[in-house]
Amino acid sequence: MIDSYINKLIFVDEEFMSELKQESVSVLREFNNPNSDTQVIKLPLPGEELAHLLEYMDISEIKSGNILVKPSYTNRFCRIEEFSENHVLRKYRLWTQLCLALGAKLVKVQDIKDVNIEAGNDSDTHVKATASSLVAEGSLDVSAKKSSRAKEIRQQIMDMSTDAEGSEPNLDAAHGILQKYNLFHDDLFMSVYEMRELINNSLKRHEFYLDFSSDIKKVFDSSIKAKLDVMAKLYEGRIDFDSQENAFNEARTAMKLSILVEF
């Protein structure tokens, strides 16, 4: 029912479709027009189709008006307003796993900036890592006011600074991570892998930048915005729908992590 290339699901019901048809057949046709990565699902579903969906999401998320997205490196769908935090933490954990497989003894975030997706520039909002920033939240240098959840995500990332004994690179284990999570297309992951492949001049220390701009753009694109605008005519005012709409409107920035890796 859900193909592997689908990473956005939109749930609607018979009432929504009927009202949309009465308003405009062309709008209904455009709304149902499938995008390359988006699928519209009409509720209720037959039992076997519902059982299939439960392999990818919680049953509480299968309701009319919901928009679910699938972060990279997982087959589970989450609500669109949860995407950014889930994706950032997941991708950073995978980055750390790969570095450890390649023999890293230190993986540490030194700086977190917000990148303006539309302008493509770093903003003034950033979090710097200092020796004490891994101990207490109050030691984080925050230059602009952020939501409590955004601060929490940044603190979690800072707290994930990793120390290990260090070793020679286990290229087989690293290759397994790249293969399992389909990371061969990601230049950042491949760059550290290829650097550690060089036996005659082993990489000892390097600073990498983990930029989530392209990841955010893929989810919060114009096609999902158009469908949100159509859905707003029927669902606006519902708390759960409004939170999704707000998430899209706020998705103008993405995190950019400056990461120090030592081997």
Query: Residue-wise pLDDT tens for the chain (263 aa)?
Result: 788 889 999 999 999 999 989 988 888 888 887 778 999 999 999 999 999 999 999 999 999 999 999 988 888 999 988 888 788 888 999 999 999 999 999 999 999 988 888 765 555 444 454 433 333 343 344 334 346 666 787 888 877 789 999 999 999 999 999 999 989 989 999 999 999 999 889 899 999 999 988 888 888 888 888 899 999 888 888 878 888 888 887 787 888 999 999 99
Tell me the whole-structure pTM to 2 decimals: 0.76
What pLDDT was estimated at residue 147? 60
Q: Which amino acid is at 64?
A: S
Distance CA 164, CA 113 (A): 26
What pLDDT was estimated at residue 131? 36
What pLDDT was estimated at residue 140? 40
Q: Could you give phi then psi for residue 2, rounded to 5 degrees?
A: -110, 115
Q: In sequence order, what are the residues at sequence separation of 6 or more whose Cβ sits closer than 8 angstroms to the Cβ of residue 239?
A: none
Distance CA 91, CA 60 (A): 25
What pLDDT was estimated at residue 121? 57
Burial class for 249, CB neighbours closer than 10 Å (0-12, 13-18, 19+): exposed
Q: With CA atoms as reference, report the closest residue to 21 among 221, 222, 223, 233.
A: 233
What pLDDT was estimated at residue 251? 80
What pLDDT was estimated at residue 138? 39
Helix (H), strand (E), coil (C) string for 115-134: EECCCCEEEEEEEECCCCCC
Instruction: Determine contact, residues 48/96, Cβ cutoff 8 Å.
Output: no
